[in-house]
Structure 1
Amino acid sequence: MHKSQPEILDVGGVPIAVRRRKGRGPGLMWLGGYRSDMSGTKAAALDGWAADKGRAMVRHDYSGHGESGGSFREGTISLWLEQSLAVFRQFGGERQILIGSSMGAWIALRMAQRLAQSGSYGRIAGMLLLAPAPDFTTDLVEPALSEAQRQELKLNGYFEEPSDYSEGPNIYTRALMEDGRSNRVMTGPIDTHCPVHIIQGMNDPDVPHAHALKLVSCLPADDVTLSLVPDGDHRLSRPQDLALMLRAVDELVLRAC
């Protein structure tokens, strides 16, 4: 638990909780996964690394997550993307290494696209993508839907399924699924304009490692490193997983300096 209160950034009338550590650039920006928050094991390990190295770091909770306001059921990739861009622009400093976990990797890739469109792609110094799940609504969730779940989406606007990572169920809304289609990134080449390191567990029950291989094939213009962890799961939060993550961050920072 955090002893201090987070900073609050108003994004479209929604209070977004932000925690940041001042230090040298390039800094780190943490982008969490679906239903995850910024106090998780990986984010805390990165914050400890930043403290030891004197590096800046910023992390936030999407609306409906953790310490932020807003309704989870109203969340979409577009909404969480806008909130992440707002935090980046307000607190990101000159250059950041984006570290995206699961859905956060999708947000990171969309941020790179949006920043490139505005001529600001040089502000991303590198990317570390952990168990990346870009396009997960169309590529991973929709193909696995049962007929009953499809009917629930159609009639109720959402469906629920048990979660392996929290007490409450996962909730997938029709708005999330439809918005996901308009935010797809693995439909062709993706230009991040920076080095990318992907860490993927081969025992991941949620994101098959073939998904990471597909992502690599969409990054032909960038320097990409793929680290496959034979016994790694989706969390990638064991001590050896965290050590691998921190080595990758250290390398990305050294390359960016």
Structure 2
Amino acid sequence: MGLRAMILRISLTLSAMSSIDMCCGFTGFSHCPFALRSGGRLVSSYTHKKTQLSAARRLNTLSSGVLSLKAEEKFGRGLKAKMKEGHSLVYDYVDGSSPVIVYLPAFNQSRITSKSSALQTWAKRNGKAFFSADYYGCGKSDGKFEDGTLTMWTNDMITLIEDVIKKPVLLVGSGVGGWVGLHLAMKRKNLVPAFPLARFATDVSNKVRGLVGIAADPDFTTDVVLPELDDTVKEKIQKDGSAMISWGVSEYTISKKFIDDSKNMLLLPGGSESLDIKCPVRLIQGLSDEEIPPDRALRISEAIKSDDVVVYYVKDGDHFLDQDEDISRMIDQVQEMCSKYFEFDLTSPGSG
């Protein structure tokens, strides 16, 4: 399996394009025989047209807080936080040091997966805090999946970060969790002039210390899935409110609510440096992804303002990236970011 982990590492900086060099070794991955590293500004083959509607549009509802949460039940597994909107979310919260590793599940997945379990195990062994919640309509949280939207999931996570976690976080988002994570990491104040009447959720970007995206798929509804659906399926979605679709190697239920809402949450139309994200970002993408084009990771990296963005390509990695070596890579990136946070904290006033 060693050759499986052929990785293309692309480092983005604000400097001019520098030399490309082949380097042997691990480059932070436990199974990487070699890597191609390109220093300097990324030059993408895509041409992006900047629009006013680009940089991650507004969240449509305000984060309204957690209605009930007993202090003695803050940490544990299968706990519930009742939101002021009336629904309850089920979450796991393991106590430990900051930053809290927050796992954001993929589309229509619960908080309990091989990736989240591995992260939780690593966190406990290393004294790190870990948090993951089921989205509305997923897992054991309240609601029907067909009624869930990206706006709702993002706002709920903002509420949980503000009212339950209350500490700096390191986001790890799989699939649509990467989409949610990008919204959480993005500063929202710059959107107000463009949408003066918009109602924004609380800005939690100041709590986000880093983001690891695993096959992150922002905007997949409008520019990947919808163009490929036949008219019969589109009519069913319009008429019935949802439909089961075959995509990649899986079947998914996709709803009209989710599709319509996602149009207000698009991230990529603005092009280069349109997303006001300043934290370190690591994107892991399979070149054999059956659900999203592999160049999606490059488009995300180009759109982010942060200089500290690295894209890792796995030669025969699929969309799920849940093999042992894939999980090892994910944990490598989490460990690197936790180390960066610790080093930063040593220089902070009052850190001891």
Q: How does 1:70-149 map to 2 (within 5 A)?
A: 70-113=143-186, 118=202, 120-149=204-233
Instruction: Give 1:222 deviation, angstroms.
Output: 3.4
Structure 1 residues 156-197: Cα deviation after superposition (integer angstroms, max 9, x where no partner): 22221247777xx41111111110000111122112220000
Give distance in 2, aligned partners of 1:104 and 1:114: 18
Deviates more, 1:95-104 or 1:149-158: 149-158
1:99–1:115 CA distance, 2 compared to 1 (3 A): farther
Q: Is 1:63 matched with 2:148?
A: no
Give distance in 2, aligned partners of 1:110 and 1:246: 22
**Structure 2 residue ranges without an equivalent (≥5):** 1-75, 191-201, 343-352
**Which of the residues 219, 237, 240 maps onto 1:153?**
237
Amino acid at match of 1:129: G
Structure 1 residues 53-100: Cα deviation after superposition (integer angstroms, max 9, x where no partner): 100011000011112111111011011111111111123232100111
Match of 1:53 in 2: 126
What TM-score do the two structures reach when normalised by structure 2? 0.68
Match of 1:191 in 2: 276
3-state SS of 1:56 partner:
strand
Give distance in 2, aligned partners of 1:120 and 1:152: 38
> Given that residues 287 and 315 in structure 2 are in contact (C-alpha distance below 8 angstroms), is that contact kept between their aligned partners in structure 1?
yes
Amino acid at match of 1:126: G
The percent of aligned pairs where both chains have the same amino acid is 27
Question: Aligned-pair RMSD on alpha carbons?
Answer: 1.8
Look at both structures and tell me which one has the larger radius of gyration over its CA atoms. Answer: 2
Give distance in 2, aligned partners of 1:92 and 1:24: 12
Q: Is 1:6 matched with 2:78?
A: yes
> Given that residues 280 and 306 in structure 2 are in contact (C-alpha distance below 8 angstroms), is that contact kept between their aligned partners in structure 1?
no
**Which of the residues 95, 101, 104 maps onto 1:31?**
104
3-state SS of 1:49 partner:
helix
**Which of the residues 273, 285, 298 maps onto 1:213?**
298
1:149–1:206 CA distance, 2 compared to 1 (3 A): same
> Given that residues 196 and 222 in structure 1 are in contact (C-alpha distance below 8 angstroms), is that contact kept between their aligned partners in structure 2?
no
Structure 1 residues 105-154: Cα deviation after superposition (integer angstroms, max 9, x where no partner): 01011112366675542210000000001111112111111111122122
Aligned length: 252
Match of 2:114 in 1: 41
Higher helix share: 1
Amino acid at match of 1:98: L
1:255–1:102 CA distance, 2 compared to 1 (3 A): same
RCO comparison, higher one (Cα < 8 Å, 6+): 2
Match of 2:263 in 1: 181
